[in-house]
Chains A and B, each alone.
Chain A
Amino acid sequence: MYTRILGFAAVAVCLAMPASAAIALGDAAGSYAISPANSSIRFSIGKVGGGGLDGAFGRFKGSIRIDNSDVARSQVNFTIFPESVGTGQGRIDAFLRSDAVFDAADSPEIQFRSTSVTRTSDTTALVSGRLTARGKTFPEKFTAELGGLKAGTIKFHVTGQVLRSRYGMDVGTPIYSNIVDFDMTLTGKRG
């Protein structure tokens, strides 16, 4: 019985949370430019037999806008330059840049434009948007977790999975998975 009362108390605290979080988000409201120096966009593609292909994009840009009255109207946009892909193995990088995968010469940008942001907890949100790569656009979802907020700097940890076959990049399946796991740290500086 005692634990049940504690449980009720915990629920009550959680219910009270949005009000305080809203104040925190009110502080966060504003426009931020993604700072590449303090951000990273990493990806991993599993392969048969275990392990995988890990890499990162060295060059990207973007912005985060947090709406102080309606979080759902917040926006995240970013552009990745696939020419900057790096896996630690030059031959693989050249393969990824070629028309076998990114075709970086003809499609120099990969773009994400958010269409809606849904709060899923005090510190997490589901960001839905449209991802465009190699001339193909599909809806994708990413999970964003607030990692820190101080002095005009906001940090998010963003994860999500993208099916590469949709974008004409299915080379190597099924040796390499069709699923690309993204793991990004996006640090925005208030602009």
Chain B
Amino acid sequence: MHASITNSTTRYGWGAIILHWLIALIFIGQFGLGFIMVRLTSQRTAFELIQLHKSLGFLLLGLVILRIAWRFGNAAPALPRSVGTLERRAAPLAHLALYAFQLALPLSGWALVSVSMLEIPSLPFNLFLMPNLPLAESDAAENFWASAHWYLAYAGMALVVLHVAAALRHHFQLRDGVLTRMITPSSEDSAE
């Protein structure tokens, strides 16, 4: 058996699997962190959590770019033959939308800190200075990007819920290998 780093026509390789779960963990964690950090009474803790949220956001952006590049070089495995026409058409659109949200969330956050009148530099994990996007600072721009980031976060989480529900349906109701093939490459696709 060859090293299963890359995808095959029936299964995901470790590259896609690790990127999927790492991004899933950060993406959902960022939603929770963002929700909490704007509701704290301690301004010090809020400041520190916001900087952590920015650091994780830049990490997420880097991982998502890597993931999209990986996806271009590694076609996703085909869906099991048992999957119906409607789902066969809807799934790629849902996945495309998930990729769009993975990019739009860190980018809108980056835009938000770039236009903020507070001019707080971004120093991801205290390692290096991340420059701002070339956007004009103003309170109006900050309000716009804050709203955009907020709506994208809730819409993105709604899509994540749909994605998780679909995966659970495949596993428990349809009993195919759609969920398990995203857990380990050695899992056999039961529908093949």
A100 within 8 Å of B (CB atoms)? yes
With a cutoff of 8 Å between Cβ atoms, the chain A residues found around residue B126 in the complex are: 174-175
Of all chain B residues, the one with the shortest Cβ separation from A47 is B121
Rounded to whole angstroms, the CA-CA distance of A175 and B122 in the bound complex is: 8
- Assess whether A51 is interfacial by the CB under 8 Å rule: yes
The minimal Cβ–Cβ distance linking A87 to chain B, given in whole angstroms, is 10
Q: Shortest beta-carbon distance, B114 to chain A, in Å?
A: 13
Residue in B closest to A94 when the chains form the complex, CB atoms: B43
A172 / chain B contacts, CB cutoff of 8 Å? 47
| B 108-125 to A, binary, CB cutoff 8 A, 1 in contact else 0 | 000000000111110100
On chain B, the number of residues with a Cβ less than 8 Å from chain A's Cβ atoms is 15
Given contacts A95-B47, A99-B44, A171-B47, contact A49 B117 (CB under 8 A): no
Nearest opposing residue in chain A for B132, CB measure: A49
* Given A99-B44, A100-B42, A100-B43, A51 contacting B123 (CB threshold 8 A): no
Docked CA distance A175–B118 (Å): 13
Min CB distance B171 to A, Å, is 44
Q: Distance in Å from the Cβ of A90 to the closest Cβ of chain B?
A: 10
CB distance from A16 to the nearest CB of B (A): 52
Taking a contact as CB atoms under 8 Å apart, the answer to whether A49 and B129 are in contact is: yes
Q: Please, how many angstroms separate the alpha-carbon atoms of A110 and B120 in the complex? A: 26
A51 to B120, CA, bound (A): 11
Distance between Cα atoms of A32 and B131 in the complex (Å): 49
Q: Do A89 and B117 form a contact, CB below 8 Å, given A49-B129, A174-B123, A175-B123?
A: yes
Quote the shortest CB–CB distance from A178 to chain B (angstroms).
13
How far, in whole Å, are A18 and B131 apart by their CA atoms in the complex?
A: 53
Chain A residues numbered 70-123 whose CB sits less than 8 Å from any CB in chain B: 89, 91-92, 94-95, 98-100
Beta-carbon contacts under 8 Å, B94-142 to A: 117-121, 123, 126, 129, 131
- How many pairs, one residue from A and one from B, have CB atoms within 8 Å of each other in the complex? 35
Question: Which of the listed residues B42, B51, B121 has the most CB atoms from chain A within 10 Å of its own CB?
Answer: B121
Given A174-B126, A175-B51: A49 in contact with B43 (beta carbons within 8 A): no
Is A48 at the interface (CB under 8 A from chain B)? yes
Q: Is the CB of B119 within 8 A of A98?
A: no
Q: Per DSSP, are chain B's interface residues mostly helix, strand or loop, or mixed?
A: loop
Residues of B within 8 A of A171 (CB): 44, 47-48
**How big is chain A's contact interface, by range?**
10 to 19
Given A48-B129, A175-B51: A89 and B44 interface contact (C-beta under 8 Å): no
Query: What's the Cα separation between A100 and B119 when bound, in Å?
Result: 18
B121 engages A48 (CB within 8 Å): yes
Task: Take A95-B47, A99-B44, A175-B51 as given contacts and tell me if A48 and B123 are in contact as well, using a CB distance cutoff of 8 Å.
Answer: yes
A47 contact set on B, CB distance < 8 A: 121
Complex Cα spacing A174 to B129, Å: 11
Inter-chain CA distance A175–B168, complex, in Å, is: 43
A100 to B40, CA, bound (A): 12
20 contacts between A and B (CB under 8 A): A48-B123, A48-B129, A49-B121, A49-B129, A49-B131, A51-B119, A89-B117, A91-B118, A92-B118, A95-B47, A98-B44, A99-B42, A99-B43, A171-B48, A174-B123, A174-B126, A175-B51, A175-B121, A175-B123, A175-B126
Query: Measuring CB to CB, which residues of chain A are less than 8 angstroms from any residue of chain B?
Result: 47-49, 51, 89, 91-92, 94-95, 98-100, 171-172, 174-175
11 extra A-B contacts, CB within 8 A, seeds A95-B43, A171-B47: A48-B123, A91-B118, A98-B43, A100-B42, A100-B43, A100-B44, A171-B44, A171-B48, A174-B123, A175-B120, A175-B123
